[in-house]
Structure 1
Amino acid sequence: MWNPDQYLQHLYDSVKPAESFKARTTEEWKAWQERLRERFVALLGVPEGRQELAPVLLESVDCGSYTRQRVSIHTFGPLTMPVYVLIPKEYDRNRGAVIALHGHGYGSRDLVGLNPDGSDKTGEAGYQRNFALELVRRGHLTIVPELLGFGDRKLAADADKGDSCYRLSTNLLAMGQTMAGHRVFETLRCVDYVLARGDAAPDRIGCMGISGGGLVAGFAAAIDERLAATVVSGFANTFQASILSIFHCIDNFIPGLSQLAEMPDVLGLIAPRPLLIEAGTKDPIFPLHAVDEAYDQLQAIYGLLDSESLLAYDRFEGDHMISGKLAYDWFASLWPAREA
């Protein structure tokens, strides 16, 4: 047989991730967390030229129970990012803010109930199920960034295409950078933006993402403890069973990551902060058996830290889509009202 199947399996079997979780004490956990986080950030690559946010209000629309604003912020170098800001009319800062991160599709408009042309959606909500609207309706200040390569942030040559993931990712890789790194660190500029607004409790900023947005949510929370609670939907798995075994967009790939850690190790950096995993039983690109495997490994990390109650799993009947069955009420349960 000329097929390289055995060779590929040999490569994977021969790689022993340097920072697989093996801690037996909290002291060993802390040392592991610091090592892995530092090395993971180095692989992601921090974009150069961090800028002042300099927010500009682009529009403000009265949507009944909430106001939908669109704001432009500077992130890195010449990059600017449009962000939807959904503000409940009856807003209590103690309800917290949630950064809502879209997956593949037409970008941030899909999360806020709009079509690609900005008109109101009618009919099916799609796999992302307007989840930013569900968050704002529950009282959360909701921030919805347009991730690099989607929607209004595609390359000009890709105006009629779904996204610019391939060309942007390959160019970034050729320059020693990653698309994942750009999306993660631009999302952390959204945390900066929330803090600069001053209308949300700084210890109650969370994130929720689906699919590629789940990557961004999980990786951002792994490296920045300002994100106090995280929902990863349709992404938590093992790299071997998902990204490396089933066709996935090139924006998922970070050179050298398999030599450093498996996905549960990276997501384990979130511990002991609250983490909720959503997984559909019929998800074709993130197999359920590997979600269960990843969750078992996460339980070991949270268990060592006596934080099992802060790890949750919504294993729902469905495919690659947002559930929300636990997530929406979960944020509210974490952030109850405070006494005046």
Structure 2
Amino acid sequence: MWSADLYLENLYKECVNQHSSTYNADWQISLKEQVRKSLGNFDDNQEPLNPVLLEKSDMGIYWRLRVEITTIDPLRMPVYVLIPKLNNIGKFSAVVAIHGHGYGSKEAVGLNPDYSLRTEEGYHKDFAVELVKKGLVVVVPELVGFGDRKLQSDQGKGLPTDNSCYMIASQLLLVGKTLPGLRVQECRRVIDYVQTLDYVDENRIGCMGISGGGLVAAFTSMLDERLKATVISGYTNTFKGSIMDRRHCLDNYIPGILNYAEMPDLIGLIVPRALFIEAATEDHLFPLDHVTHAIEKLTSIYKEFGVDGALASHIFEGGHEISGEQSYDWLVRQLVSE
């Protein structure tokens, strides 16, 4: 045959046929190590965070700070920190809120690219603002490649929603690293930062991400057990049904990962910690039938570990977007009400 269709299909079948069907502690340890290697083996580092306050805004019922921290030298990352104005007894629980494709962290905190207050609702639904209204400290990193963190050559060009993903991802691949790996490692440094905040309970930190931010939330949660509860919105699927089914951004591709597991098994590495899957009926990027399959697989993994109550999901009417109808309160219950 002249086309590669059958060849690619056979390769996929060969890979999935060798995946483990046994879910136990040994499986988890082994697969986590393979994930680290596939992401590019970003070494943990102890460079000083050196946080610098860039701005502080009174938003009525909460404070909005923008802070800059060191992640991986020489990278500096701007981070929004939303702090409820509550007569809090003790310390707050916190959520790392990870944006997807678009113009960066401003989209999660209700701002336009020019920093003006947004009036039109995007697919992020200002979810960081909704979470701070629930009484959580919300920390919103700006992922490298988006918004203010595009490459210098891309700054001030095209649309605000344009990104530098392809250029960054392709260059990282040439040196054996990946853009998902870089973003995950930077988000682990954000967790380091959250744990330095004297108004946050360092043992009550969760994570929520949408779309490409759902990928980062998932893989960060796989590798960092400091995250006690995770919401993955608009991402959970199979590679076969989503990433392999259309032309996605290069930041979705992790070399060799299918040799070890499909997406549901990878997300299952979060077990036994709390996990919430949010997905829409009409999400054209991550189709519902593969979402259903993924949730079934996750259910079997959580049952195998005896913690099926730690897994929850919500399929809502809509497209590729945040819902929050159930996930926000679920996060509060996991991080505050336990």
- Answer whether TM exceeds 0.5 for this pair: yes
| Larger CA deviation: 153-162 vs 1-10 | 1-10
Aligned to 2:231: 231
SS in 2 for 1:239: coil
Question: For the residues of structure 2 that align with 1:57 and 1:17, how far apart are their CA atoms?
Answer: 51
Partner of 1:41: 36
Q: Partner of 1:167: helix, strand, or coil?
A: helix
> 3-state SS of the aligned residue for 1:204?
strand
Q: 2: distance between equivalents of 1:272 and 1:207?
A: 15
User: Residues 221 and 91 of structure 1: is their aligned pair in 2 closer, same or farther, counting only changes over 3 Å?
Assistant: farther
Provide the TM-score with structure 1 as the length reference: 0.94
Q: Give TM-score, length-normalised by structure 2.
A: 0.95
Residue 182 of structure 1: CA displacement? 0.5
Aligned-partner Cα distance in 1 for 2:273–2:76: 30
Q: Equivalent residue for 2:48?
A: 52
What is the Cα deviation at residue 283 of structure 1? 0.4
- Pairing partner for 1:86 from 73, 82, 86: 82
Aligned to 1:168: 168
Per-residue CA deviation, residues 37-84 of structure 1 (Å, 9 max, x unaligned), is 111111112435832111000000111000000000001121000000
Q: For 1:314 and 1:180, locate their aligned partners in 2 and report how far apart those are by CA, in whole Å.
A: 26
Structure 1 residue identity aligned to 2:109: V
Counterpart of 2:67 in structure 1 is 71
The Cα of 1:265 is off from its aligned counterpart by 1.1
Whichever residue aligns with residue 202 of structure 1, its letter is: E
Which residue number in structure 1 is paired with residue 213 of structure 2? 213
The 3 A distance-change label for structure 1 pair 302 and 337 is closer
Q: Is the 8 A contact 2:268 2:301 kept in 1?
A: yes
How far did 1:4 drift? 1.7
Deviations 1:164-185 (A, max 9, x none): 0000000001111000000011
Alignment match of 2:111 (pick from 110, 114, 121): 114
Misfit runs of 4+, over 6 Å: none
State the AA in 2 paired with 1:84. Answer: Y
Q: Tell me by how many angstroms 1:310 deviates.
A: 1.2
Counterpart amino acid of 1:198?
D
- Do the aligned residues in 2 keep the contact of 1:94 with 1:200 (CA within 8 Å)? yes
Bigger shift: residues 300-309 or 89-98: 89-98
Corresponding residue of 2:199: 199
Secondary structure of the 1:203 match is strand
Distance, in Å, in 1 between the alignment partners of 2:336 and 2:82 is 20
The question of whether the paired residues in 2 share the 8 Å contact of 1:234 and 1:320 is answered with yes
Identical pairs, percent: 50
Secondary structure at the aligned position of 2:103 is classed as coil
User: Is the Cα contact below 8 Å between 2:97 and 2:208 reproduced in 1?
Assistant: yes
1:198-244: CA deviation from partner (whole Å, max 9, x where unpaired): 32112210000000000000110011110000000000011111111
Contact kept in structure 2, 1:109 and 1:115, CA below 8 Å? yes
1:138 paired to 2:134? yes
Aligned AA for 1:79? L
Amino acid corresponding to residue 36 of structure 2 in structure 1: V
Specify whether residues 21 and 98 from structure 1 end up closer, same or farther in structure 2 by C-alpha distance, changes over 3 A only: farther
In structure 2, distance between residues paired with 1:291 and 1:128: 20
1:15 maps to 15
- Which runs of 5 or more structure 1 residues have no equivalent in the other structure? 24-28
Verify the 8 A CA contact 2:92 2:199 in the aligned structure 1.
no
Contact 1:231-1:276 within 8 A present in 2 as well: yes
Alignment RMSD (CA, Å) = 1.5
1:293 matched residue in structure 2: 293
Q: Name the SS for the 2:200 alignment partner.
A: coil
Q: What's 2:279 paired with? A: 279
The residue that corresponds to 1:26 in the other structure is none
Contact 2:111 2:117 in 1 (8 A): yes
Cα distance, 1:20 vs structure 2: 3.1
Q: Which moved more, 1:237-246 or 1:78-87?
A: 237-246
SS of 1:12's equivalent in the other structure is helix
Residue pairs, 1:237-256, within 5 angstroms? 237-256=237-256
Number of residue pairs aligned between Structure 1 and Structure 2: 332
